[in-house]
Amino acid sequence: MRAVMVKRFGDPNVLELIDLPTPVPGHGEVAIDVSAIGVGWLDTKIRSGDGPAVFGVEPPYVPGGAVAGTVVAVGAGCRDSGRTTVAE
């Protein structure tokens, strides 16, 4: 799996394209084949080290949290209702 990682706080040059192991969904989780991501203004503040303390993010980390794609694997404790996958 390819990801962009922040290994230290700073300008956009700290973003690094890396390869990570393909995740396996745990209990109550799903794996998504991501086709789009959402990274916004707040992500840029966190990356620069100026993010709100409430987030408590420390490098290294993969920025962003909003994704769109197709569910490709379902962990235990989830059920597939045909249209959505629900954690139980």
pLDDT for 56 equals 83
What whole-number distance in Å separates Cα of residue 48 and Cα of residue 6?
10
**pTM as predicted:** 0.74
Angle at 31 between CA 33 and CA 38, to 5 degrees: 55
SS3 57: coil
What whole-number distance in Å separates Cα of residue 79 and Cα of residue 30?
10
**83 has pLDDT over 70:** no
What whole-number distance in Å separates Cα of residue 85 and Cα of residue 78?
6
Q: Kindly list the structural domains of the chain, giving each domain's residue range(s) and its CATH number in brackets, ordered by start.
A: 2-87 (3.90.180.10)
Specify the higher pLDDT residue, 83 or 17: 17
pLDDT tens readout for residues 42-75: 999 999 999 888 888 899 999 988 889 998 988 9
Confidence of residue 27 (pLDDT cuts 50, 70, 90): very high
Specify the higher pLDDT residue, 65 or 8: 8
Q: Residue 16: which H helix or E strand, with range?
A: strand 15-19
